[in-house]
Structure 1
Amino acid sequence: MLLFSGGLASLAAQGDQPPTFKKIVLTEKFHAEGAALGDIDKDGKGDAVYGPFWYAGPDFTKPHPIYPAQDHDPNGYSQNFVTAVSDIDGDGWLDAWVMGFPGAAGHWFRNPGKVGLAAGTPWEKHLIHPIIDNESPTPLDITGDGRPELVFHTGGILGHASPGDKPTDRWTFRPCSEGNVGEKYTHGLGVGDVNGDGRKDFLMAAGWWEQPADPTALWKKHPFKFGGGGAQMHAYDVDGDGDNDVITSLAGHGYGLSWFEHVKKDGAIEFVEHPILPADAKASLDGVQFSQLHAVELADIDGDGLKDIVTGKRHWAHGPKGDPDPGGTPFLYWFELVRKSDENLQPAARVSYVPHRIDDASGVGTQFAVGDIDGDGRADVVIGSKRGGFVFLQQPPGR
C-alpha cells in the first residue's frame, strides 16, 4: 500500500545509477506479515508500523505499543496479514487497520493522541467486520468521499465496508457482486479503473468487476483469467497508450509475475499477457527468479514518473517444507519499468522491466508499504514478514 509519499527525486538527478537502500531492522521477531508507514505522533517525521508496535522515525529504534504483543512461530501464522493507517474517526490522528488470518475478523485501532501515545496507552480496538475473506483485503477509497473503504469478500460476495456516523460501531458491508467469487483463502485482489470511466473497478484472478454509475446496482463481472491467484493486483498504464493494463503475480505459492496489456477486440476489453518473471521455475529474467510473490506494490522508485513494481519472496509461507522452494533466498526486489522511445514499435513492444535487488534476507509477507518515510523525496519500503520487521531507506546518490 502506497502511503505518506511525496514528490520523488528522479533517477537522472541521481546520475542514472540505480538507487541503493539502507536496511534498518525493527525486530527479528515474527509479529505480522504486513506493515505500514505514516506520521503516527504528528511530529512531522514518518513512522513505521509493524504488528503490535509503531516505531518512531527517523531512527525507528524504540517500539511503542498499539495492542498486546505476541511472538509467533514462523512455522505457523500471525493474526496480522494486512496493516494500514488512516484517520478513521476524523480526529486528526492516524489510526491502524489490522486484517487478521483469512476468514477472521478485521479491526481498527484508535490512535490515543498526544497524551496517550506519550503514556504508551494501548489503542482502543474496534470491529470492522467479523469475517474477511481473501488473502489481500485492500483499504482504498472506492466511493470518492476521500475516506478509504475496505475491499474484500465475505460469504462468497465481493464488496466493500465503510464506517457510518459512528466509526466505532461495526462497519456496513456493501455487496457488489453475486455469490461464489471465492473463499477465505482466495488469492488475488485489487482496485483500479480498468475501463477508463473514472470509477474504480475490482480485480480478481478470475476477472474484473465494473463499477456502475448507480451506486446501488451490482457490479458487472467481466471474466478473464489473470493467472492462478497471486496477491495485490494493480491497474496501471504500463505501455503508455492511454488505457490501464493489469499487473499481478500469477501464483501466491508458485512462480510468475506478468502485466496484461489492455486491448480492444470488437469494442470489448481483452488482455494479452506479457511475462516479467516467468511462470517456469527454470527460467528467469536476467538471472532473477524466485517463488511466492505474495505481496506486490507499485511505486515510482527511481523518480522517472513511471510506476515500478516492488515485490519479493514470502519466506516460509506454509513453513519450511511447504510450497515450491520454501528455503530459497528471501529476496526483495524492485522491477524498473522502462519504455523505449522507438516510435516504430507498438506501445507494448517498447516495454521492458529491469530487476534491481533491494535485499536478500527479508523477503515479503502478505502486504507491505512503499512511500517517503524520511521526507527526502525518495521512495522507501517498510516490510513485515516471518523474518521480522524492516525499513529500507532509499539513499542519496553516491551513498
Structure 2
Amino acid sequence: MQSLQFRRHVLNEASEFSACAVFDVNKDGHPDIFCGGFWYAGPDWKRSITRDVPNIRGRYDDYSNLPIDVNGDGWIDVLSVNYRSASIYWIEHPGPSFGVWQTRLIDSPGPSETGRLYDIDGDGQADLLPNGTNYAAWYARRVDEEGATSWVRQELPAELAGHGIGFGDVNGDGCGDLVGPKGWYRIPQDAPRNRWIAMNEFRLHRDCSVPIVVHDVDEDGDQDIIWARAHNIGLYWMEQQPAFGGGRRWVQHAIDTSWSSSHSLLLADLDGNGRKELIAGKRYLGHGGRDPGEIDPLVVYRYEFSPADRVWQRQLISWGGICGFDLDPKFADVDLDGDIDIVAPTRVGLCLLENLGVQPRAPTEDKVTENVEDVFEYAASDSILVRRHSPDRLVPVQTQTDWGYRRWQTLRNMEKVMGRLPGPKQRVPLDVRVEREEQAEGYRRLKLTYAADPEDRVPAYLLIPNDTRQPRPAALCLHPTHRLGKSQVCGLGGNPNYAYAHELAQRGYICLAPDYAPFGDYDDYDYAREDIPYVSGTMKAIWNNVRALDLLEAMSEVDRDRIVCLGHSLGGHNSLFTAAFDQRIRAVMTSCGFTAFSHYYDGDLRGWTSDRYMPRIKTHYDLAPDKMPFDFHEILAAIAPRPVFISAPDGDSNFSQSGVKLSVERALPVFQLFEASERLFTVYPQAQHELPDTIRQQFYEWLDENL
C-alpha cells in the first residue's frame, strides 16, 4: 500500500450540515462544493448562500446532497433524502442569477437515513434509492421530451426497510441487486422490476452503513459485501465463495474494530493504481453520544486489501478536530490535479482533504499524525477529569467528547508499555479449525484453534448451548494463571470455583475460552522469538482476545450486541485491558484482577515484568509506579459507561483491596459524567485470592440485568 499525504483544509468550521456534493455550480470549469445552506466556489472556496435549510429538533433537514439535473435546464440540481421531515425533495438550481435555490417536494414516504443514486432498472438513467427506516422503495427516474425528470415510486420488499442499503450485481448475472442487513434481493432478467426475490444467504449487522458496498474485494471474480456499523463498532466484509455442490457461501471477516460510527463509506482509487480503496470516516454524535465509541475523536481512514496476504492495510488520513464523515461525503478531483480528493461534512464543520499523492517527505502544514510518543502523560495527583494539552497545561474535561480525547490518550499511554494494538494488517482470516466436538450438560463443547495473526493460532474451547433458536448472549471467558488454562474455566479440572464458562453456558451464554500462552495447549509459544510482532505478552493476549471477539461476532447464533468479557486474576486484568481497547465488549467482570500500581506489593512491580506480561515496566519505566504512563483507574474510566463488575476480596495478597478502592474512587467521576455511576459495581468479600460461589452467582444475576 502506497502511503499518501493529505492536507486538511477547513472550509467552514461553523458548518452544521451532514451532506455535500461536488459539481460545477457556476459553470466556470472548476469543481465547486455544495453543502446544505451554502455553496463554495472553487478554487478559493468563496461561500455563497443557497437557501434557508429547516432545522428540526436541532438537526438541519439535509441528509443527502445528490447532484443531478432534475428539470433538464442544463444546471445541476440537488436531491435530498431526509429523516426528520420524512421527506424527499429536490433543490432547484437558480440558473445564471445564482439567487435562492428553491425546494420542490417529491414525496413524503417516511423517515430515511439518507439516499444514493443508482441505475436500478438498467435504463441508463440514475434512479433514487433512499434508505427508509420504516418503508422500502426506490424512485425510477423518468425523463420527458423536454428533458424534465419525474420520479415514480417503486415498492421494495419490506425487509429492506431499516438501517443500511446498497446496490450492485451480487451474483454476476448482469442485473443489479439490492443488499440490506437481512440479505440480498435479486430480480430475474425477464421479471418485472417489482418482483424482487429474497436471498437470505447472510445476515449483516442491524445498523449497517449507507451504502452497503458491493465490490470484488479479493479480486477472485465474484462480488463481496463491505459494510460498517453506523452506530456501533467496526468495519466488516462478507466474502463470497463457491459452495460445494454449487451455489454460494459467505464468510464474515472483520476489517477494523478499533473505532465506531462509520455511517457512510466511499470506494475510490486514491493512489491511481487502478484498484479501488475503501474510505471510511467517523460520524459526529449521530445519537448524541449514546452509541458505543461515539465520543471518541473523529477519524478518516483509507483501507486497501492485499489479495496475496488476504489482509487489509490501513492509513490514517485525518484524526481529531472537526473532520469526519457524517451522512453523505464525496470524492472527486476537486483541485483538478489528476487525483481524487475527499470532501468531508460533519455537524461541526466542513473540510476538504486534499490528496497530495505519494510524497518523499510529509508536508509540515496540517500534517496528519497519530504518534503514540506525542501523547502527554499524567501525574498520579491529576484528576481523571482533566485533559493535558501540553506538558504544563491541563484543561478540565467538561463534556463527554472532552473525555473522548482523554480516553484516547489513556489508550496510547497503555500502548507505550504494552506495544501498539495491531492493525488490520495482522487480521488474517480466522480459519477456525475444529479438532473435537463433545456433548456436555446442556451445551456442545468444541475444541478448536483460530488464527490470531499470520504466524500464530490460538487454542480455545467454544461452548454452545443446545437451544440457539434465537441469538444468544456471548461471553469471552479468560482463565486465571494455571497449567490447565482454558480447561479450568470450562469445568474440565482444577478449582470448580473458576468454571465460569461451564456455568454461563448452562445459563444460555455462548462461551469462548482461549488459552493464554504458555498455559493449556498454548505451551509451545515462545515470547522470546525475535520475529513476533508484539513487545509484550499482554498485547499478544489482547490481540488474541480481539480475534476471539471476531470469531463470536461471525457466529449467527450470537447476539452481537450482548458480549461480556470476564476472568479471574490473570483473566481479570486481561478482561479490563481487552475491554478498554475493544468496545464490542458490552460488560466486564474482573475478579482479583488489579490494584493501583502503587499498592501492588507496596509498589514493587517486578511481578508485572516477565515476557508474558509487560517487560517495558522494567526496561523503560524502572519498576517505578510514579513513572508509569497509565494506572488502573484510567483503564476503568476508559471502559465507561459500560458496566463493570469488580470483586476484590479483603484477603487478596496479590492485588491489595485498598488499591482497588482507590482506583474505583478515582474512576467514578467519569461514570458520573455519563450519569452511569451505578454501572461501576464493586463487591468486597471476605476471602482470599479467589472467586467464591456466592460472588459468581451474584455476578450472573448482575449480568442478566446489565447485558
TM range (shorter): 0.7 to 0.9
Q: Which residue does the alignment assign to 2:596? A: none
Q: Which residue of 1 aligns with 2:196?
A: 219
Q: Is 1:389 aligned with 2:373?
A: no
SS of 1:161's partner is: strand
- Confirm or deny: 8 A CA contact 1:126 1:170 kept in the other structure: no
Distance 2:271 2:82 in 1: 33
Q: Is the 8 A contact 1:307 1:337 kept in 2?
A: no
Q: Write 1 or 2 for the structure with the bigger share of strand.
A: 1
Q: 1:275 to 1:216 in 2, by over 3 A?
A: closer
Residue 263 of structure 2 corresponds to 294
Would you say 1:171 and 2:151 are equivalent positions?
yes
Aligned length: 352
Partner of residue 52 from structure 2, selected from 62, 68, 71: 68
- Tell me the secondary structure at the aligned position of residue 31 of structure 1: coil
Q: Which runs of 5+ in 2 are unaligned?
A: 364-707
Structure (1 or 2) with the greater helix fraction: 2
Q: 1:157 to 1:315 in 2, by over 3 A?
A: closer
Distance 1:41 1:204 in 2: 37
> How many angstroms apart in 2 are the aligned matches of 1:307 and 1:107?
31
Cα distance in 1 between the residues matched to 2:303 and 2:311: 9
Secondary structure at the aligned position of 2:250 is classed as: strand
- Superposed, which structure 2 residues align to 1:1-399 within 5 Å? 16=2, 18-60=3-45, 62-69=46-53, 76-101=58-83, 104-113=86-95, 115-117=96-98, 121-152=99-130, 156-165=134-143, 171-177=151-157, 179-182=158-161, 186-213=162-189, 214-223=191-200, 224-231=202-209, 232-249=211-228, 251-265=229-243, 266-278=245-257, 289-319=258-288, 321-340=289-308, 350-360=309-319, 361=321, 362-398=323-359, 399=363
Matched AA of 2:47: P
Distance apart, 1:217 and its partner CA: 4.2
Q: CA deviation at 1:369?
A: 0.6
1:369/1:382 contact within 8 Å kept: yes
Deviations 1:208-242 (A, max 9, x none): 11133223441111112022322111111111110
Distance (Å, rounded) in 2 between the aligned partners of 1:233 and 1:154: 14
Whole-Å separation in 1 of the counterparts to 2:114 and 2:143: 27
Unmatched 5+ stretches in structure 1: 1-10, 279-288, 341-349
CA–CA distance in structure 2, aligned partners of residues 389 and 153 of structure 1: 24
Opposite residue 261 of structure 1, the aligned amino acid is E
> 2: CA distance between counterparts of 1:322 and 1:30?
23
Give the secondary-structure state (helix, strand or coil) at the position aligned to 1:392.
Answer: strand
The amino acid across from 2:170 in the alignment is V
The amino acid that maps onto 2:127 is E
TM-score by length of 1: 0.82
Q: Secondary structure at the match of 1:247?
A: strand
TM-score of the two chains, using structure 2 as the length reference: 0.47
Q: CA-to-partner distance for each residue in 1:46-92, whole Å, 9 max, x for gaps?
A: 111111111111121x222222156789xx42211111112222222
Supply the distance in 2 between the matched residues of 1:368 and 1:48 (Cα, whole angstroms).
Answer: 11
Q: Do 1:293 and 1:311's aligned partners in 2 also have CA atoms closer than 8 Å?
A: yes
State the distance in 1 between where 2:255 and 2:192 align.
36
**Which residue identity does 1:20 align to in structure 2?**
Q
8 Å Cα contact 2:265-2:280 kept in structure 1:
yes
- Name the CA shift for 1:216/1:235 in 2 (closer, same or farther; >3 Å): closer
Q: Could you tell me the percent identity over the aligned residues?
A: 29
* Aligned partners of 1:46 and 1:57 also within 8 Å: yes
Once residues 97 and 31 of structure 1 are traced to their aligned partners in structure 2, the CA distance between those partners, rounded to angstroms, is: 18
Q: State the 1:353 CA deviation.
A: 1.4
Amino acid in the other structure paired with 1:377: G
Cα distance change, pair 68–133 in 1 and its aligned pair in 2 (3 A): closer
What are the Cα deviations for residues 91-110 of structure 1, in whole angstroms up to 9, with x where unaligned?
22211111222561011112
State the one-letter code of the partner of 2:186: E
Aligned residues of 1:315 and 1:387 also touching (Cα < 8 A): yes
**Is contact 1:103-1:131 (8 Å) kept?**
no
Question: How far 1:157 sits from its partner (Å)?
Answer: 4.8
Q: Deviations over 1:306-340 (max 9, x none)?
A: 11111121111122x41113321111111123332
* Shift in CA distance, 24/261, structure 1 to aligned 2, threshold 3 Å: same
1:30 Cα offset (Å) = 3.9
Is the contact made by 1:192 and 1:201 (CA closer than 8 Å) also made in structure 2? yes
